[in-house]
Structure 1
Amino acid sequence: MIQPAPTILIVDDIPENISTLFDFLDTHDFEVLVARDGETAIELIEYEMPDLILLDVMMTGINGFETCQRLKANTKTQNIPIIFMTALSNTYDKVKGFNLGAVDYVTKPIQQEEVLARINTHLTICHLQQQLQTKNTELKTKNIELATKNTELEVKNAELDAFSYMVAHDLKNPLSHLISMSDILLEEFSDDISSYASQCVQHIFQSSEKMIGIVNALLLLASVSKQDVELIPLDMGDIIYQVQQRLTSMLKKYQGEVIIPEKWPIIEGYAPWIEEIWVNYLSNGLKYGGQPPRLEIGATPEGNMIRFWIRDNGDGLSQEAIAKLFTPFTRLHQTSEEGHGLGLSIVQRIVEKLGGKVGVESQPGNGSVFYFTLNKSTLEIAGL
């Protein structure tokens, strides 16, 4: 698309000056307008807006300073760049022109190449300013749209969280009844039903337990974002002991070895949530570590944070797999192990709520180190 030629308005009361400038600018492909005094220039601009004004200071009628002042007072014309043409050489008059809003000045007698250079410079600056203003306007519009979308998304997420919590909560009771009834059937009536029926009841029992695990995970995931808890100093050793008790059957099933340090730092946290972090990390290590799994856990100070970690002896993870971690309902290991892909997303939500971060360091063939960070307790910082 061909851009139209810039329009220059020459305002001068000396015909010879006008003629010389007109011919010179015309040969350089400018559209040139002419006014013999300030009043005429102001009237002319009402009908045709120039891109730049060359304005003589000393004129009959209103002088260049007053003309400039009136143009800058008008919102329609205030952004037109004005270059003064003046024979005045004292600093006061130059500064007065700049204070009134002029962008530049040239001294008489006019040097044509100098005028051309200054015109092109200020047309370029003006064009860039217009582009910047347009981009700023577009950015403001986009920001408003983004804020609106974010508000809508927050509402939708709140509705989804509420719906998930309601569904999970309402499913928990009937699932608990299924587990209880199928357990009673297996315990008290196993001799009265066929082997096939016993297998079916066992399947109902196992499926119900799996579903209740998913429901509990969903309820925990939803409650973490909503629940405000009091953070208190915690001894990680006590929490690890509770975790080991919960995972006793898994440790026996997988014949897993867990190497635990004798001493732990004191951190600020909420014990039930931190217990869930370790349960998820350790159970994943037992399922997907080596055969048999050998897990080492520990803690490393990082400023006012403590980095807790678990190192496994599994096959390790690719960078592509690492990028998918901590995403709800994502399972990376295509094995026969049961899972619903909520564990690591629960870990991430808990840790971020507690002011820390999660991550993993791994390479295929070299095992993995899963970690999370938590704030040191003020007791730990004070060395107590």
Structure 2
Amino acid sequence: MTVPVPDQSKLLIVDDNPTNLGFLFEYLTKSGFKVLVALDGESAIEQVKYAQPDLILLDVMMPGVDGFTTCKRLKADPSTQDIPLIFMTALSDTVDKVQGFKIGAVDYITKPLQPEEVLCRIQTHLTLRNLQKQLITQNKTLFQLKEKEQQRALELEQTLIKLQQTQLQLIQSEKMSSLGRMVAGIAHEINNPLNFIYSNVSITKDYIKDLFHLIHSYQRNYSKPNAEIIAETEAIDLDFLESDLPKILNSMQVGAERICQIILLLRSFSHLDESDFKLTDIHQGINNTLFLLQHNFKPQSGRPAIRVIKDYSNLPKVWCYGGQLNQVFTNILTNAIEAIDQETERWKVANDSLAINPPKPVIRICTQVKDNTSVLVRIADNGSGMDDDVKRRLFDPFFTTKPVGSGTGLGLAISYQIIVERHKGQLQVNSKLGKGTEFFIEIPLSLTEDYKREMLDN
């Protein structure tokens, strides 16, 4: 279904840089839009209230009221909260982008701006906005017509599902793209100096060994040094220096090796250097995910350290999207950690103190081959659990039990899409309120040759 962008759509550009404003104003005006401009957040908020633009392009870094604050104020006002807002910024950190999405932005454009990209994103989000308006109007009509328009209601529901799936894919693509850029940046910026350090440590060891050999030669041939040399030897504690300096160099070498391992794990985690759909070691993906989340398992604010129990069976490699499976493991493990934290807080309130040791948190990961047809991964926690109503809606897009601004509600919906739609598998959950939760991830071992070819071609 194609929905054209309305003629003379009204845009508001907010940027404290006159050059950017002039460039965008001229380009977008020639592209057929009615363009308004503002130099700061405060005047932008006033313009939005009376002009009601169809879309806002908002710079993040501005003096006074910055872009994030401006966005929050617009989203808090019922008269302006539905206007699509796209951030423009030179910031490229994933944390900044996620913050923008959390407070209500629909997209993110990184400076320097490319005019074709700006125009394409504007047209896309104006089209989505127009679709949403049409859906709202049509739903009202359907409510009035009731039984006469039941078939039409079903079609609109399918359209809405497709729109939500498209939004999920866009956000998923942006997340994975950001992760890829981050890892590539780490490799580029760290590898060269790290290789310099790593390769020179062994050379430095040899140099130091030679220097101490020379010192020992002097000590043997000049057994009675003068007072100045004796004083200097005692001042630097030569014997201790000789024994400790190799230890320091060994520690530096171990640290450099550890950094190399971390970079390799990050590359493996995101599968940047490999074809995505391939034979994959499921255990390696789980272990890499656990490694990247290990700081979350440590004791935190009254909660003991989380014990991770791994009960692995002998699994064959599986045809799958390794990077996407890693994201599923990340989403489920992150939810398990949050559920354990919630249970700890509930326990603290119920017991009114930490005098009694709280329950010991545990996450158990089991793998097995099921009926020789699929690989089953079970991830269980002893956290807060969930009631039947939450379980029914758990995989719905944008459903979340977290407070507003604390989460997007996309993690498990994306996980369901990855397992069920991309891998033709199953994702199920078993949970009781206050009794913990267990997720069942099932990936088929055999895929048809036609499906493999289709995935590899994509």
If the length of structure 1 is used for normalisation, what is the TM-score?
A: 0.40
Rg bigger for which structure? Answer: 1
